[in-house]
Amino acid sequence: MKKFSRFTLRWIFITTFLAALGPALRAELAVTLAWDPSPDASVAGYYVYAREENSVAPVRINAGAATQTRIASLKEGLRYAFTVTAYTASGVESVPSNEAVFVVPVPLRLPTSVSPTGFRRIQFPIAPGRWYELQASTDLRSWQTIWQTGVANSYSWVEFQDPLSGMLKCRFYRLQVH
């Protein structure tokens, strides 16, 4: 059996596609993986192994001879681990590449106007086993945690109303997932 040398999963490029569906925003989250080609001339193609957190077995995706592939339908807030193997025409597979880990970002929903109470409503989905910190900034350099959730038990949406949003000219938000 032929042994392959280990090669490197080079980069992950995150793409997010948003489509307005009624009053809600829906996001299709995808990741594009790219890797350096194997130096072995007998390589016929590559398999990408994608494992969602808490799953036992990874999903195998045949990328063919390409050195990149796009993986869609990822779930917000979940962690995914990716590895790549090379294979020969006879089906001999290499050892896996280094592992690349990616946590799918969680989108924030912001209404287009301030509520009658003067508060901006921020909504975001939560995933089981995670907790979230909502942070705010007026200059994109210094961030302050303004609210945090407990550990989620199920997938759902939560909402926070920011009492300072009506008093500030500009306020930015970000979400930290733990």
Q: What is the pLDDT of residue 176?
A: 85
Flag whether pLDDT at 9 surpasses 60: no
Is there a domain that residue 163 lies in? yes
- Distance CA(162)–CA(73), nearest Å, equals 31
Write down the pLDDT at residue 17. Answer: 38
Q: Which residues of the chain form beta strands (DSSP E)?
A: 9-21, 24-35, 43-52, 59-64, 68-74, 79-88, 100-103, 120-126, 132-137, 144-148, 156-162, 172-177
Clarify whether residues 24 and 99 are in a common domain: yes
Whether residue 99 is found in the same domain as residue 124: no
Q: Domain with 74 in it: what CATH number?
A: 2.60.40.10
If asked whether residues 92 and 161 sit together in one domain, one would say: no
Q: Encode pLDDT of 14-67 as tens digits.
A: 443 333 333 344 446 788 899 989 989 999 999 999 999 888 889 999 999 999
* 114 is a domain residue: no
Asked if the structure places residue 109 within a domain, the reply is no
Domain boundary among 103, 136, 165: 103
What does the pLDDT read at residue 18? 35
Q: Are residues 24 and 76 in the same domain?
A: yes
From 39, 69, 103, the end of a domain falls on 103
**Are 47 and 99 part of one and the same domain?**
yes
| 152: Cβ contacts below 8 Å, ≥ 6 apart | 126, 127, 128, 129, 130, 131
Please report which confidence band the pLDDT of residue 1 belongs to, taking 50, 70 and 90 as the band edges: very low
Number of domains forming the structure of the chain? 2
Residue 113 in domain: no
Does residue 115 sit within a domain? no
Q: How far is CA 25 from the centre of its chain?
A: 17
50 occurs within a structural domain:
yes
Q: Which residues make Cβ contacts (< 8 Å) with residue 176, sequence separation at least 6?
A: 132, 133, 135, 145
Same-domain status, 166 and 132 = yes
Give yes or no: residues 93 and 126 share one domain.
no
Which pLDDT score is estimated for 55?
Answer: 86
- Residue 60 and residue 40: Cα distance in Å, rounded? 21
Q: Which of these three, 45, 78, 103, is where a domain ends? A: 103
Kindly report, residue by residue over 64-96, the tens digit of the pLDDT: 999 999 998 888 778 899 999 999 999 999 999
Beta-carbon count within 10 A of 89 CB: 9
Same structural domain for residues 81 and 151? no
Mean pLDDT over residues 166-170, rounded?
Answer: 78
Same domain for 163 and 84:
no
Domain hosting 13: range is 9-103
| Predicted pLDDT of residue 6 | 54
> Bigger pLDDT: 176 or 20?
176
Average pLDDT of span 151-175: 82
Residue 36 lies in a domain: yes
Q: How does pLDDT run across 96-146, given as a tens digit for each residue?
A: 998 888 888 776 665 545 667 778 888 888 878 888 999 999 888 999 999
